[in-house]
Amino acid sequence: MILFQILLPSCMINATMKQLETSRSQILVLHQQLKSTNQLVKELLAQLNILNQSINRTTDSTLLNFNDLLDDLSNEAKLALGPHKLPLGYSPKSGTDEVYASVGGGCLSYKEDLAQYMTYRVGKECPVDDVYAQRLMLKGCEPLPRRRCHPKAPVGYVEPTPLLKSLWSTPPDTSIIWDPYTCKNYTCLIERRKFPGSYDCKDCFDLQFREKKRWQYDNGGLDFGMDQVMATRPKGTIRIGLDIGGGAGTFAARMKERNVTIVTTSMNLDGPFNSFIASRGLISMHVGVFQRLPFFENTLDIVHSMHILNNWIPDTMLEFTLYDIYRVLRPGGLFWLDHFFCLGSQLNVTDVPMLEHVGFKKLRWNAGMKFDQGIDKNEWYFSALLEKPMS
């Protein structure tokens, strides 16, 4: 009995010692884990510090970063793009003491092409690289940087045909430089509608063929008549406007006959469209469809586009374009969307909701299936006369 009483405390002491040993081991493990965690936190803080420094450098040295983007370009390209210090110093109007030349952000994604475009002899004749320049524009390098060289001049240039005769006259071949184009005279351009092959606006240069009839008659369907469209506004209130992707400028010519001034945007896709428009005595603008329209908001009476605004444009980019058209139209101004091409699956799911979302009011709407590729293609055109609301 006495022995049991002596051994009991000894067992208790041994158990306690074991618990202490276990606790000590756990403390060592926790200490190691804490040490490891501290090291991990230090590494994370170090990486965070590096990231913050990188962000600060980007924020504090925007000009340096911009110049870094130009490293591979020629001195002429760098000089054209800027920055340039303002002669009178800081300008409160612009909020800076330096300016950059306007140039498309896409230019810096094609630096080799841009460097080639900016290679020339200053003050001398520019390379005949119209096709090359336009390809840059179509890639998103729009606007192109300015150049300090002279474009090649036509040999034997003569004075243009006087208005209003010029609206329906073929200009002389000596009015332009033919180097960039497959055809080397206007006769070739006029005749190519009779031959196989795909061209942009294949018969546009034949002013006595289909161009002569455009917008003269209203068939109650896809073809809207110009007079019927203008009759939707009070007489004389359609005065100025824009034709997006206007080919050879016939829409502007017909409007000119009605004392309306139209600016036509066009690209020279294997044809001198801009030169041809100017020869007719009309205003041409060599810009693509994705460039912000160079007009102030609420200024134009009418914007027209035939075929160019179609489903080949990504939906998001098309939406931005439609909002820009809405921006430049005055309240009550007209948007004439002429022969918009789409698939039947897009018509009511994408295109119509997009126009409604932008905020245009429908004045007239006609849709019709396009059958030339077969009914199974489910291809459609729609023409719409839309109005920017008065408020």
Tell me: the pLDDT tens digits for 169-181? 999 999 999 999 9
Mean pLDDT of all residues in the chain? 87
pLDDT at 52 over 80: no
pLDDT of residue 122: 96
Query: Does the pLDDT at position 76 exceed 80?
Result: yes
Q: Quickly state the pLDDT bin for 6 (edges 50, 70, 90).
A: very low
Checking if the pLDDT of 248 tops 70, the result is yes
Q: Domain ranges for the chain, please list them.
A: 106-152, 165-387
Mean pLDDT of the 2-20 span: 58
pLDDT score of 187: 96
pLDDT at 8 over 90: no
pLDDT at 55 over 60: no
* pLDDT at site 149: 97
326-332: average pLDDT: 98
CATH entry, 165-387, from 3.40.50.300, 3.40.50.150, 3.20.20.70, 1.10.3720.10: 3.40.50.150
**Does pLDDT of 35 surpass 80?**
no
pLDDT of the residue at 82: 82
Average pLDDT over residues 61-71: 61
pLDDT band of 144, cuts 50, 70, 90: very high
Q: What is the pLDDT of residue 293?
A: 95
Residues of the chain with pLDDT > 70: what percent?
85
pLDDT for 110 beyond 70: yes
For residue 218, is pLDDT > 90? yes
pLDDT value of position 109? 87
Q: Which of 8-12, 14-18, 330-334, 353-357 has the lowest mean pLDDT?
A: 8-12
**pLDDT value at position 5?**
47
Distance separating alpha carbons of residues 341 and 77, to the nearest angstrom: 40
In this model, does residue 12 exceed pLDDT 90? no
Report the distance separating Cα 338 and Cα 310, nearest Å: 10
pTM over 0.85: no
pLDDT band at 44 (very low <50, low <70, confident <90, very high): low
Residue of 340 and 20 predicted with greater confidence: 340
So what's the pLDDT on residue 102? 83
pLDDT at 50: 57
Q: What is the pLDDT of residue 312?
A: 84
Is 62 a residue whose pLDDT tops 50? no
pLDDT bin (cut points 50, 70, 90) of residue 13 is low
Of 55-64, 83-92, 166-175, 269-278, the poorest mean pLDDT is in 55-64
Residue 49 predicted with pLDDT over 90:
no
